[in-house]
Structure formats: structure tokens, C-alpha cells
Amino acid sequence: MATYKTSDFRKGLKVQIDGEPYLMIQMDFVKPGKGNAMYKCKLRNLIRGTMLDRTYKGGDSLESADVEEVAGQFLYRQADMFVFMDSKTYDQYELTADQVDDNWKYLKEGMSCQLMLYNGNPISLSPPNHVELTVEYCEPGAKGDTATNVTKPVKVETGAEFLAPMFINMGNVIKIDTRTGEYVERVST
């Protein structure tokens, strides 16, 4: 297993602490007037999502985590399990509803996404930055209600609800930003 010395520390580094994978969110280098340099790190647990603050002295080291990202495809949902397929090896992986978290709102069958594997087991997924979803239900907009920034809830094909402008109707395809969960635009078909 490779190790990272403090001089290699940087944002985005995937390390292993106490047998669990962490992502380095923030790293600050501090050089006091006297003594050794210190590296203040903010780390996020890739399995549980918890945050950890640690300070390391110059010369310390951390193990690299056996974390890899692979291109995958969402196949189907079965109760609380989401089934994905590796696009290269055709291996199938199952993620629980807790691992998928709020990303279920954006998952359509056949959609491409990034799977994060730790020791060959899936721990999380990242959907594309923008997804196009068909509106299955929404209240009709009132005629003449064209004031700016007036929104209404719309239910899309995945079963999720998003806020969209009043002019959106059932059957429209809308683009949603998966990073914020916000409406981007109506897609012309």
C-alpha cells in the first residue's frame, strides 16, 4: 500500500485512517515561528460522510486508500437496493438507499454515472452534473401569471419533486442541476 508524506498532502487526496477511506477536503500549511511545520487537514469519511479534523507534523505520513472511480450505468431499483453495472467489466454492484442518499431523485434506467469503489466494493455514486427528466405531474399554471421567479412543484419520472417555473406543463422535459437540485431549463423535444 502506498503512503503519502505530509509534503504530498493536498485537497482531493484519498487516504486511509483507522481502516476507513477519507477524502481530504481542506489542507492548510502552518509554519509557526518556532518548531515544526504543521498540516491542518479536514477529512470526510467516504463511507459514513462524517467529518474529521486532524493536525499532522512535518514528516508524518498516511496510507493511501484503495479507492477508485469507475464509469457505471444504473440498471434498476429493487426495493431499497439500487443495481449498477460497470461499463467496462460488466460487473454488477448493489448500493443501498443510504449509500445512494438523495441521488435517487436523478436516476433513470440506463443513465451513466460514476461509482466509487473501496476495496472493490461500491460505497457511493455521482450522477452527471445535469439530468433531463420528464414532468409526470404538475398543477396547471394560472393564465396571465407571468411574474418572474414564480415557481411550482413538479413531479418527475423518478418520483422526485422539484421547483420549476409556472410555464412548465405535464410532459415537458426539464434539465435539473444534480449538484444543487435546481431547475436549469426546459428542454425542447
- pTM equals 0.74
What is the residue type of 11? K
Angle at 42 between CA 36 and CA 48, to 5 degrees: 140
Domain ranges of the chain: 3-64, 67-126, 130-187
> Which fold would CATH assign to domain 130-187?
OB fold (Dihydrolipoamide Acetyltransferase, E2P) (2.40.50)
| Strands 112-118 vs 121-126: parallel, antiparallel or unpaired | antiparallel
Give per-residue pLDDT as tens, 4-15: 998 888 888 889
> Which fold would CATH assign to domain 67-126?
OB fold (Dihydrolipoamide Acetyltransferase, E2P) (2.40.50)
Let me know: does 132 contact 187? Beta carbons within 8 Å: yes
With the C-alpha atoms ordered 74, 75, 79, 81, is the resulting torsion angle positive or negative? negative
Q: What are phi and psi of 139, to 5 degrees?
A: -75, 145
Fold matches, 67-126 and 130-187 = yes
| Strands 151-156 vs 130-138: parallel, antiparallel or unpaired | antiparallel
- CATH number, domain 3-64: 2.30.30.30
pLDDT over 70 at 147, yes or no: no
Least confident of 25-39, 138-152, 168-182: 138-152
Identify any residues that bridge with 29 across adjacent strands, giving them in sequence order.
Answer: 39
Q: What average pLDDT score do residues 14-41 get?
A: 88
Let me know: does 70 contact 126? Beta carbons within 8 Å: no
